[in-house]
Amino acid sequence: MIKLVPILLLSMISLFGISNNEYYIQYKGITLGKISDFSTIDKGYLIGKPVGGILGAFITFDNYIIYEEGKKPKIEGDNKEKKDKHLLLSLIRKIKKEQPKHTVFKKDNYEITIECKNSKCTYSRLNTKKQKTYTGYMNFKNNILDVMCDDESHICFKQVQ
């Protein structure tokens, strides 16, 4: 009976879609880092750690930080920081609890439309000053974000499998 407890726990974890919430940060298909904790997104930033491999030999920083306007964190170490001008953090925060069939919201100089159907969401960002539209998509597995790719920035967040 005691041997069955771990097996039952593992079965429940996979049944209810609980995830380790680790994601790779990719730029144009190249993996730059790994995000181990998405909880900081509510504070307006994400922290990624560089990954090893061939690219890892050329990376000289400790953390890759993506932050929203006015929410730049003070993290010790040699950091590569990037302001989230594509509003990716706002998009993730908007859909992390539920996938809306259709929603529109405004942020900065953008009007953002999100449409979801069958565990896939598409979004468009209309730059109201330039009258230019940018797109992207998000896929979910068991109601957990699996992948998000943005066409303009060429940035993807992909769940570690």
Residue partners of 118: CB distance under 8 A and separation at least 6: none
Percent of the chain with pLDDT over 70: 83
Buried b or exposed e, range 80-94, using 16+ CB within 10 angstroms: beeebebbbbbbbeb
Residue ranges covered by each domain of the chain:
19-159
Predicted confidence (pLDDT) per residue in 60-78, tens digit:
778 888 999 889 888 888 8
| Confidence at 139, pLDDT banded by 50, 70, 90 | very high
